[in-house]
Amino acid sequence: MNPEFESAMQSLFSSDGALVDAKALFDPDPAEASSTSSAFLLSLAGHKEALTFLKKAAEPGSSAEFFLNSLDLVKKEIEEASNAPGFKQKLKALAQNPADETCLRNVFFPEGVGLPETRTERVQALREKRKIKIAELNPAPLTEPGSELLFTSNVLLTIPAENTDVASLDYSDELKTHIRNAVDEEQVYWFDHPIQIGVRPEANEILYGLRGLDEAVEFERKRGNMGSGKITCVLSASVTHKGLHGLAKDYIETEIRNAGGFRNIDVYVFTEAETNRLINEVLVPAGGDAGALEIFGVDGEYGRHYSFLKAISALWAATKNPNIKATFKIDLDQVFPQQELVEQSGASAFEHFMTPLWGARGIDADGNAVELGMIAGALVNEKDIHKGLFTPDVLFPKGTSSLEEKFFFSKMLMALSTEGELMTRYGEHGIDGKTECIQRIHVTGGTNGILVDSLKKHRPFTPSFIGRAEDQSYILSVLMAEGEKLAYVHEDGLIMRHDKEAFAGDAIKAASFGNMIGDYLRTLYFSEYARVLTNDNMGAVKEIVNPFTGCFITSIPVTVVMMRFCMKAAGFFLADEPGMGAEFITASHPRLSRAMEFVRTDLRRQYQRERAGWNQFYDLLEKQNHARRAKAVEIIDSCLVRT
């Protein structure tokens, strides 16, 4: 191990005044769950007994094997990082001041150094960095969003809660049988707060989000912004267990029918079955390769459905409705607070969509030509909207940092970016929104959209291996492109109310461990992805997307992740919650191990395959004849929920 790093680890974990006394948590009895994580920390500090313990306990698939393998990865990362100017000096400073958060962050989280003390200056600097000088407003912005905009959202499904009586559910016998079979399967995907099948209607995100959208459209109709027709909303269905595949569409349709449908929305539900039909019956006959086109689908990690929910608008415009000019994604735990939008921002949701900034062209702060073909809004929490529409949904943290936060505190940078980007008010911060605006890097998974022409021209996508921050990842795929760059325009006042804590508490709790690990995987994937996009010059991407997105891009991703992982586990053990600590380690290390292996062996090839697949997808949209368009419409129409 690098001597400077080993010395720092000794100060942190195995000396008098250590940040965490790993010796106290270490017991060479393999039955003690705290032993593997503490042995890892002690091994970093050069303790031979701990290393011997890991080697002896390293059964295939065990946590000891995971920690032992991670030691080698950390060693390699630190050796490479030590070649960078100043890194060894930072390690020496940490060894001398292990309790100093600035020293910790200089090594593991440099983006957070100086915060929150320099918050005001950094917010202003971020706005200057994101500033765009408008060269040309969109000469043909949306004028009838109700018919020109394809709304999309994703339905994330998981098995029923443990106390659910499946027999009593108001579903068909066939659907109940599928549910019972799926319950016994192993989970394969993890989402933030998936809908638990069988949840009561008032706590069901599908109904909640669509009802809110339905009411928003009714508001627009009364305001004169909507004709006599309906809007179109496409839902993709993603599942946590393979056995839920076949029942997803039936379940969603049943819930919508039982609720009586919606007055103002035509809802279309796409599962993997329908996307496979579009590939095999529409795209392959046009000359496509079925294997390459597998990127077009809805089941899997977040990145897969996210890309689909953008790409479907281009297919829709090429086959079913050429009047579709753009798509806009919402999350189903969000609603448009129309009354507040009009009163406090001066425009309703549809009126925000008609801004000529969406589709404008300009020059960024570095002199690059940009096309503002994407649009991004913001969120306000349901519990805060009484304070005003422009209340940030993420605030600067207060109080003492947890053990994990001392090493990595992304929420602090999320708050910085929220204030600096999402809460920018044109006319109040030296940017008028007419000759100048700001582009967005930090976007939320809902409340963003893209013009179909920009989509076909630039072809952005989120790789299917991305299981967290799929929204942040989308722009990365085109960030380093030559020529005019695609960018998000910030639409001041386009704000949705975020209601997840008001009705989805049980689902959030059920997914807690999965959420934690998803955040760790984000660092592993983003760091390697940035290397791939820049031929190993990750700093070029990081510089653009700092502070928030960029903090997950680091030259020592495994090291950062392992520090966070061990500090989270130590927090449970030190709080006298050994059961939670053991469960956290046992449930989480297999996912981390698979992710580390994927990053080393296949991420680069996977990205290249998916880039080629999406290029083929958009090329094929231009090769549709009458018969193939008719087949596409037939498949699309089969997805319509009929009530």
Instruction: Decide: 416 and 548 in contact? Cβ < 8 Å.
Output: yes
The CA-CA-CA angle for residues 158, 164, 165, to 5°, reads: 125
- The tens digit of pLDDT for each residue in 484-517 reads 999 999 999 999 999 976 655 555 554 456 677 8
Coil, helix or strand at residue 567: helix
Q: Give the CB-side neighbour count of residue 30, counting CA atoms within 13 A.
A: 12
- The tens digit of pLDDT for each residue in 362-372 reads 999 999 999 99
Q: Which one-letter amino acid corresponds to residue 143? A: T
Choice among 4-8, 121-125, 298-302 with the minimum mean pLDDT? 298-302
Beta bridge partners of 149: 326
Rounded Cα distance between 43 and 71, Å, is 8
Tokens coding 47: 């303790």
- For residue 205, give the nearest of 446, 377, 444, 384 by alpha carbon: 446
Domain coordinates in residue numbering, the chain: 3-108, 145-331+627-638
DSSP H or E run through 346: none
DSSP labels for 65-131? HHHHHHHHHHHHHHHHHTTSTTHHHHHHHHHH-TT-HHHHHHHH-GGGTTTTTTHHHHHHHHHHHHE
Burial of 27 (0-12, 13-18, 19+ CB in 10 A): middle
Rounded Cα distance between 120 and 124, Å, is 7
Phi, psi (rounded to 5 degrees) for 496: -110, 150
Coil, helix or strand at residue 388: coil
Rounded Cα distance between 389 and 494, Å, is 10
Q: At what angle do helices 34-44 and 63-81 cross, to 10 degrees?
A: 20
- For residue 72, give the nearest of 58, 89, 90, 87 by alpha carbon: 58
Cα 376 off chain centre by: 15
- For residue 179, give the nearest of 232, 238, 241 by alpha carbon: 241
- The tens digit of pLDDT for each residue in 427-479 reads 987 899 999 999 999 999 899 999 999 999 999 999 999 988 999 999 999 99
The pLDDT assigned to 17 comes to: 85
Instruction: Decide: 465 and 477 in contact? Cβ < 8 Å.
Output: no
Burial of 375 (0-12, 13-18, 19+ CB in 10 A): buried
Beta bridge partners of 157: 195, 239
Q: How far is CA 129 from CA 368, 370, 416, 479, 482, in A?
A: 12, 14, 14, 15, 20
- The tens digit of pLDDT for each residue in 585-605 reads 998 999 999 999 999 999 999
The CA-CA-CA angle for residues 566, 569, 574, to 5°, reads: 115
Residue with tokens 């720092």: 8
- The tens digit of pLDDT for each residue in 218-233 reads 999 999 999 889 999 9
Coil, helix or strand at residue 271: coil
Rounded Cα distance between 431 and 489, Å, is 13
* % of residues, the chain, pLDDT over 90: 84
pLDDT at 578 over 70: yes
Phi, psi (rounded to 5 degrees) for 93: -65, -40
Instruction: Decide: 237 and 243 in contact? Cβ < 8 Å.
Output: no
**What's the chain's average pLDDT?**
94
Q: How far is CA 360 from CA 188, 487, 595, in A?
A: 42, 10, 39
- The tens digit of pLDDT for each residue in 248-306 reads 999 999 999 999 999 999 999 999 999 999 999 999 999 999 999 999 999 999 999 99
Beta bridge partners of 562: none
**Total residue length of the chain:** 643
Per-residue pLDDT band for 34 (boundaries 50, 70, 90) equals: confident
Rounded Cα distance between 462 and 239, Å, is 18
Coil, helix or strand at residue 28: coil
The pLDDT assigned to 511 comes to: 46
Instruction: Give the ranges where 428-479 is alpha helix by DSSP (H).
Output: 452-458, 470-474, 476-479
The pLDDT assigned to 514 comes to: 66
| 395 dihedral zone (left: phi>0; alpha: psi -120 to 50; beta) | beta
Q: What is the CA radius of gyration of the chain?
A: 25
The pLDDT assigned to 69 comes to: 97
Instruction: Give the ranges where 390-459 is alpha helix by DSSP (H).
Output: 403-407, 410-417, 452-458
DSSP H or E run through 258: helix 248-258
Tokens coding 81: 């990082």
Coil, helix or strand at residue 402: coil
* % of residues, the chain, pLDDT over 70: 97
- For residue 437, give the nearest of 449, 451, 427, 447 by alpha carbon: 427
Cα 161 off chain centre by: 25
Instruction: Decide: 57 and 64 in contact? Cβ < 8 Å.
Output: yes
Mean pLDDT for the stretch of residues 40-46: 96
Q: How far is CA 384 from CA 95, 123, 389, 393, in A?
A: 43, 22, 8, 8
Rounded Cα distance between 530 and 554, Å, is 9
Instruction: Decide: 175 and 254 in contact? Cβ < 8 Å.
Output: yes
Per-residue pLDDT band for 30 (boundaries 50, 70, 90) equals: low
Instruction: Decide: 210 and 256 in contact? Cβ < 8 Å.
Output: yes
Q: How far is CA 508 from CA 511, 580, 643, in A?
A: 5, 17, 30
Mean pLDDT for the stretch of residues 305-314: 98
The CA-CA-CA angle for residues 129, 131, 134, to 5°, reads: 155
The pLDDT assigned to 581 comes to: 92
